[in-house]
Amino acid sequence: MILRSLLACTAAIVAVSAIATESPKHVPLRVSEPPSVLMARAASLVSTDWPRAQELYDAACHAGAPSACYYAGLASLLGADGPKDLPRAARLLQKACDGGEADACVELASAYDTGQPGTEILPRDVARADLLFAKAARSMESACGSGDLRGCGGLAWLHTIGRGVSLDLARAARLLKQGCEGGDAVMCRRLGNAFARGDGVEKSSERAIDYFQQACSAGVHEGCQDIKRLRWAAITQGRSH
């Protein structure tokens, strides 16, 4: 899931807002701090001191930050620092989902969609998964309508797989175009892939390369590789005729 990469990149995204100049390891936990401050401190520790980061995410979650509940729940689902804790994962992801964190709804839906072997905590339950995908779609629709490109990207993905919303590759492509034009380089790359395959748009290697180039120029390395792949495919196909 692309959404799981959020855990790895949280430090890079949020750490810029950290308010402490001393090492966060030595800053005492103050649960009276605003959730945004707790989140910033947690983000700075994700890769170096996960137990402490988890403590801070838990505090932020308790203080009313759904995204903190999501990060803590996802870590428990994946076993980020030890064995998986499915009861905790289910509880925190549900809390985050109920708080409007669409990614949490998607992760929980995916867990129910496949089921977790050997446990009764997250059994395979496709009907429940569908309800959670639909809840995620509503949150993403609202976020996208408010200009949140992350919501547009998530909604495009749901339309691509047809979960929670109709299978609609054309709308997925329109949403990706909206995100790309709004400055989201990853969505430019995804739109390039849509043109390369003809998913919801007329297949066009030329337009695919244009969007891959936008992604590449913005620092998305995979977009650079996509250009090479597509050009090599054109060469090999030309020689086969």
| pLDDT band, residue 236 (cuts 50/70/90) | confident
On whether residue 116 sits in a domain, the answer given is yes
Highest mean pLDDT among 8-12, 45-49, 60-64, 170-174: 170-174
Q: What's the chain's average pLDDT?
A: 86
On whether residue 25 sits in a domain, the answer given is yes
On whether residue 16 sits in a domain, the answer given is yes
The enclosing domain of 52 has a CATH number of: 1.25.40
pTM for this predicted structure: 0.79
On whether residue 105 sits in a domain, the answer given is yes
The dihedral built from the CA positions of residue 62, 68, 70 and 76, taken in this order, carries a sign that is negative
On whether residue 141 sits in a domain, the answer given is no
Q: What is the pLDDT of residue 33?
A: 79
Q: What is the pLDDT of residue 23?
A: 37
The residue segments making up the domain with residue 18 are 1-124
Q: What is the pLDDT of residue 234?
A: 80
On whether residue 29 sits in a domain, the answer given is yes
Q: What is the pLDDT of residue 175?
A: 98
On whether residue 238 sits in a domain, the answer given is no
On whether residue 3 sits in a domain, the answer given is yes
Q: What's the mean pLDDT in 103-112?
A: 96
Q: What's the mean pLDDT in 8-15?
A: 39
Q: What's the mean pLDDT in 209-224?
A: 98
Could you give the number of structural domains in the chain?
Answer: 1
Q: What's the mean pLDDT in 140-164?
A: 97
Q: What is the pLDDT of residue 82?
A: 79
